Amino acid sequence: MEQDAFTAFERDGWEQLAEAYKPRFGEVTKQSNGALLDALEVRAGTRFLDVATGPGYVAAAAARRGAHAIGVDFAQAMVDEATREYPDVEFQRGSADALPFDDASFDAVGISFGLLHFADPDKALAEAFRVLKSGGRIAFTVWSTPDRALGFGFVLKAVETYGRLDVPLPPGPPFARFSDWSECERTLRAIGFIEPRVVEVSQTLHTRAPETAFHMMLHGGVRMGSLLKLQTPEARASIEKSVLEDCAPYRNGDDIRVPLPCVLASAKKP
């Protein structure tokens, strides 16, 4: 796996999409912030690190609980966006696989939908382990499998039917690796964490027709957006139409609400 190429691809993509992310993916991912912080037992006085902070949503939510929150992201545009939105929270640029903090610096580390953007997610989780104090907690969210996170399911099915999945993208980790609950538990234990717990958290993608998950991913995501942009114009039009048709059972007039749940995994450092 060409980790450097994948990291550059992801980082460069998010440098361009910092603003576009917020009204699309951001409006969905915020829905699980409370559950993530609850799993981490974040409260007043908790020293909390938000890895792959993006626009800073989780760090800001932790700060509202009275935690001392720090957010890090490898894209400077995301750090700038988070700093503008939440000037009272500390944000800095940093890589998930080489965190700029001392050992045992934090009580809790959260990674909200970041693992699928890391070239080496195991190394990122090992870094979280390193910076956690004994008794500290890790928690991360990823998308549920496409048969449950229907927005992704509709788009992927349409690409398979009308386009192609083998477009020229830098090779990276399997997109849905941690959608598998047993893989979450296995990986956390292998790194040294104990008491892994995995649950599903309900989330809903709310769009107004003709906007659907297709547009969310096309304009607000790096890997999925690139997959769609590399289709032929004819295939892309067919994919767009197919996704809108699949939304029919979840549509009331122009209002579309499609299930887009996530997997929430957490564990403890001995």
CA dihedral 120, 187, 33, 157 (to 10 degrees): 70
Q: What number of other Cβ atoms are within 10 A of residue 183's Cβ?
A: 17
For 60-84, what is the mean pLDDT? 97
**Residue 2 binned pLDDT confidence (cut-offs 50, 70, 90):** very low
- Where are the chain's structural domains? 3-268
Predicted structure pTM score: 0.94
pLDDT of residue 19: 85
- In what order do the strands lie in the sheet containing 262-268? 90-93, 68-73, 47-51, 106-112, 132-143, 262-268, 194-201
pLDDT at position 1 over 80: no
Tell me: pLDDT of 24 over 90: no
CA 120 to chain centre: 15
Write the class of the CATH domain 3-268.
Answer: alpha beta
193: which residues sit within 8 A by CB, 6+ positions away? 129, 138, 267, 268, 269, 270
**For the chain, what percent of residues have pLDDT higher than 70?**
99
pLDDT score of 57 more than 60: yes
pLDDT in tens, 200-234: 999 999 999 999 999 999 999 999 999 999 999 99
